[in-house]
């Protein structure tokens, strides 16, 4: 019984660590690059516009989709590691 609780606690800790990393990337891209760092990125041309605008429009959406696939991939590996696979 104690082994199950320790296994569950380790699984939850790994899951929270993964969620925290994804949220940090999300915040960095959506708030950092698109809003706070936009003046610094204004001089870098990408697709006919500056990099800050690109991150605010297309870049953040592509990053969010990438985060979803990354999270699903890592959670599948985490489930297998802790014996919770389908």
Q: Are strands 45-46 and 49-50 parallel, antiparallel or unpaired?
A: antiparallel
Q: pLDDT, tens digit, for every residue of 43-84?
A: 888 888 888 888 788 888 899 999 999 999 999 999 998 887
Cα separation, 13 vs 41, in Å, equals 36
7-51 pLDDT, tens digit per residue, is: 889 999 999 999 999 999 999 888 888 788 888 878 888 888 888
- Provide the b/e sequence for 42-65 (b: ≥16 CB within 10 Å): eeeeeeeebbbbbbbeebbeebee
Band (pLDDT 50/70/90 cuts) for residue 1 is low
Going from N- to C-terminal start, the domains of the chain cover 2-81
């Amino acid at each position: 019984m104690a082994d199950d609780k320790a296994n569950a606690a380790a699984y939850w800790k790994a899951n929270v660590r993964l969620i925290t990393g994804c949220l940090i990337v999300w915040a960095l891209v959506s708030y950092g690059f698109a809003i706070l760092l936009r003046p610094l990125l204004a001089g870098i041309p990408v697709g006919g516009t500056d990099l800050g605008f690109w991150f605010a429009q297309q870049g953040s959406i592509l990053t969010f989709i990438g985060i979803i696939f990354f999270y699903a991939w890592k959670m599948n590996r985490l489930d297998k590691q802790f014996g919770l696979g389908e």
